[in-house]
């Protein structure tokens, strides 16, 4: 009997000699290795920054006819109007997508909190707000939708870049930019799929405190994707 209980206790949590769950140690080790991957991609982007021999460029106006760049369109005097390309990075759109990803992190911590508190009774006189805070489905949906929205912004950005003449083959900026942000987008996509699998489990049998570790691990991955974007947004988009 006692053995069965001990077996049940260990069914979902496999502890190591450190007393910590091995899955949580693994996700932190994975996140550590991902830090190195993304730092190498960011380094590559910054090393090649300003080394492209043809446009379009991220922060400068570009005259295609003469292949010259300038900080303002007026500085490209003599260039035909239809040959002037504006700076390719769209800061308002990217700012909106950054806000969306930050809010998805908030939704994710609330999803984890909702799963951890699932067994606790609601306080007397609990209102709609309290009920919403206890709904893991709501916050998991919210996180997945915000993640998908971020991917929508990225798809829009990539499409507009291609229409403006920047592809992964155009110049060093295009190669390093699409590789870096494409890798990040792939990570967000994996995160959204992970969230949808958690939602499927939640609908099938309900997520409860015994599943908190599963949600915690997914949350760690999701927040990591968010912090990588915090670095990318500043280093690639804002610093000129």
Partner 1 sequence: MSSNSAHSEEAHEHPTWSTYKWIALWLTLITVVEVWAYYIPAFVASNYFVPALLIMSAVKFTVVVMYYMHLKYDHALFRKLFVGPLIIAIATFFALMFVFRKMFQ
Bridge-based pairing of strands 84-85 and 68-70 is unpaired
H, E, C per residue of 35-74:
HHHHHHHHHHHHHHCCCCCCCCCCCCEEECCCCEEECCCH
Q: Among residues 70, 148, 201, 227, which is the contact residue for partner 1, using CB under 8 A?
A: 227
Asked whether the CA dihedral 227, 231, 237, 238 is positive or negative, the reply is positive
Q: Which of 76, 74, 69, 79 is nearest to 49 (CA)?
A: 69
Residue from 66, 67, 83, 95 touching partner 1 (CB under 8 A): that is 95
Distance in Å from the first CA to the final CA of the chain: 66
Residues 6+ apart with CB under 8 A from 11: none
- The stretch near partner 1 (CB under 8 A) out of 28-36, 140-148, 176-184, 189-197 is 28-36
Residue with smaller CB distance to partner 1, 63 or 107: 107
Q: From the list 70, 93, 113, 196, which residue makes contact with partner 1 (rule: CB under 8 A)?
A: 113
Tokens 């915000």 belong to: 146
Write the binding mask 158 to 197 for partner 1: x where contact by CB under 8 A, - elsewhere: ----------------------------------------
Stretch that binds partner 1, among 101-109, 144-152, 154-162, 174-182 (CB under 8 A): 101-109
Please state, in angstroms and as integers, the Cα–Cα distance from residue 22 to each residue in 70, 104, 111, 221, 223, following that order.
54, 27, 22, 16, 20
Stretch that binds partner 1, among 95-103, 153-161, 163-171, 189-197 (CB under 8 A): 95-103
Q: Which of 68, 116, 165, 208 binds partner 1 (CB under 8 A)?
A: 116
Per CB under 8 A, does 15 bind partner 1? yes
- Is 19 a binder of partner 1 (CB under 8 A)? yes
Peptide bond into 222 cis (omega under 30): no
DSSP classification of residue 121: P
126 in contact with partner 1 (CB under 8 A):
no
Dihedral sign, Cα of residue 116, residue 225, residue 143, residue 125: positive
Contact positions vs partner 1 (CB under 8 A): 6, 9-10, 13, 15, 18-21, 24-25, 28-29, 31-33, 35-36, 38-40, 42-43, 46-47, 51, 91, 95, 98-99, 102-103, 105-106, 108-110, 112-113, 116, 133, 219-220, 223-224, 226-227, 230-231, 233-235, 238-240
């Amino acid at each position: 009997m006692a053995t069965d209980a001990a077996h049940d206790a260990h069914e979902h949590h496999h502890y190591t000699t450190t007393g910590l769950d091995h899955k949580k140690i693994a996700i932190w080790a994975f996140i550590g290795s991902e830090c190195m991957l993304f730092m190498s991609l960011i380094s590559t982007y910054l090393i090649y920054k300003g080394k492209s021999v043809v446009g379009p460029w991220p922060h400068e106006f570009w005259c295609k006819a003469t292949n010259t760049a300038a900080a303002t369109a007026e500085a490209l005097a003599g260039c035909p109007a239809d040959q002037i390309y504006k700076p390719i990075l769209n800061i308002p759109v990217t700012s909106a997508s950054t806000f969306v990803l930050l809010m998805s992190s908030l939704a994710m911590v609330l999803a984890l909190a909702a799963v951890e508190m699932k067994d606790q009774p609601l306080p007397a006189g609990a209102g709609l707000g309290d009920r919403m805070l206890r709904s893991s489905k709501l916050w998991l949906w919210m996180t997945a939708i915000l993640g998908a929205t971020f991917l929508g912004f990225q798809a829009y950005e990539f499409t507009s870049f291609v229409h403006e003449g920047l592809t992964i083959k155009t110049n060093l900026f295009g190669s390093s930019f699409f590789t870096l942000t494409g890798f990040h987008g792939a990570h967000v996509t994996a995160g959204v799929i992970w969230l949808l699998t958690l939602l499927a489990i939640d609908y099938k049998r309900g997520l409860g405190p015994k599943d908190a570790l599963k949600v915690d691990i997914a949350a760690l991955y999701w927040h990591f994707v968010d912090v990588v974007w915090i670095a990318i947004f500043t280093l690639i988009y804002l610093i000129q």
